[in-house]
Amino acid sequence: MKTNFLISAVCLALLSLTSPAWAGEGHDHGEEAPATNSNGPQRLPDGSVFLPKPAQRQIGVRTLPLETAELPRSLELAGKVVMDPNAGGMVQAVLAGRLEAGPRGFPSVGQAVKKGEVLAYVVATGDVLERANQAAQLAQLRAAKGLADQRLVRLRELADTVPRKDIEAAASEVASLAAQIAALSSGINAREALLAPVSGVIASSNAVAGQVVDARELVFEVVDPSRLRIEALAYDLSQAADVAGATLAVGSERVPLTFIGAARSLREQALPMLFQGEGSALSRLAVGQPVRVFVQTASRTQGIRVPAASLMKNAANQSVVWVKTAPEHFAPRPVTFVALDGVSVAVTSGLAAGDRVVTQAATLINQIR
């Protein structure tokens, strides 16, 4: 009896553990989704964003108060990086021949070199028949010099009976033949040294051991990366006469440019304009790289300077910036703007002085849903 009683008690206990628990009447929530956390980042019905202070610190939100000012009108021109002729140069072969490595071997791309340093040698290689003729001529000159040397020795032994002018003439003939032999030997075994025209780095290299190059062929290109020039193309000729300044955006850094001048002849219906740039930021550019040049004109416009990183796109593909309207609320503002310098823009409508615009983490705020 006791055994049957214990088995019944265990079964009842197991049933009580596996049976579901039901809420009382009026307390069942049915199939409703769990409630959202109203304290987390979220997009509000009016399009603004609620972002608590801890979340702001976590994503690194930064804002900037705005001020209205007179800003120069800017033009954005397409350009490219070109070599400064005073701080760069090309190394070309004057002779046709075979390349040989210099004292430090062939320089690699990006290697620093000094002005006058030997980069490579070009060993002249001519036609087989021409080299045979030169060798035969060299043999004749050496034979003639041997006879002239013997004649000069005999004349000097007879110096008491031979006129002095004959001895001097024989000595002059020996010297002339020696000079001809030296010149012809250097021509046959000619080796041209390719020297670095300026101090800088190797921008391009076309040298390979044993390579045969033609005369005037480009072998190396040397540039000073801290001194480069920017060539921009203007399709409106009046733009060249209204340049007050120019800048170049290299990443998030703004590099000021100095306007050198504009060409006096068109190139493919465009007027080339040349700018000079200096600084460490230019070392991140390469010769021939396309860039955007922002030219400031003498005319001014009323606007608000805003970092270009603050501009976002909304669902309607409008340009917007996020404005901090409350300690934990941010609202999007559609704006119209013109370019300034590649790093900042001039907002002409949509903002007012005193607004605090998000300058950092605007992309993350724009993605909150």
Give me the residues paired with residue 87 across strands: none
User: Rounded mean pLDDT of 303-330?
Assistant: 90
Residue 30 pLDDT > 60, yes or no?
Answer: no
pLDDT at position 38 is 60
CA-angle at 215, arms to 211 and 221, nearest 5°: 70
Residue 331 pLDDT > 90, yes or no?
Answer: yes
CB 192 within 8 A of CB 97: yes
Residue 202 pLDDT > 90, yes or no?
Answer: yes
pLDDT at position 107 is 92
pLDDT at position 26 is 47
pLDDT at position 221 is 93
- Of residues 249 and 347, more confidently modeled: 347
Per-residue pLDDT tens over the stretch 216-231: 899 999 999 888 899 9
pLDDT at position 135 is 77
Per-residue pLDDT tens over the stretch 42-72: 999 888 999 999 999 999 999 989 888 888 8
Full DSSP string of 30-59: TTPPPPP-TTS-EE-TTS-EE--HHHHHHH
pLDDT at position 94 is 86
What is the band of 299 on the pLDDT scale with cuts at 50, 70, 90?
Answer: confident
Going along the chain from its start, the domains and CATH numbers come out as: 42-87+224-368 (2.40.420.20), 89-222 (2.40.50.100)
What is the band of 188 on the pLDDT scale with cuts at 50, 70, 90?
Answer: low
- Of residues 331 and 242, more confidently modeled: 331
Residue 139 DSSP SS3: helix
Q: Which of 143-152, 179-188, 191-200, 343-352 has the lowest mean pLDDT?
A: 179-188
User: Rounded mean pLDDT of 234-238?
Assistant: 85
Provide the token pair at 167: 């001895």
Residue 14 pLDDT > 70, yes or no?
Answer: no
What is the band of 342 on the pLDDT scale with cuts at 50, 70, 90?
Answer: confident
pLDDT at position 106 is 92
In angstroms, the Cα distances linking 220 to 29, 229, 282, 324 are 79, 19, 21, 55
Residue 175 pLDDT > 60, yes or no?
Answer: yes
The closest of 254, 344, 364 to 69, measured between CA atoms, is: 344
Q: Which pTM was predicted?
A: 0.58
Q: Rounded distance, CA 369 to CA 364, Å?
A: 10
User: Rounded mean pLDDT of 358-367?
Assistant: 90
Which own/partner pairs from 169-175 qualify as long-range (CB within 8 Å, at least 24 positions apart)?
173/148, 174/145, 174/148, 174/149
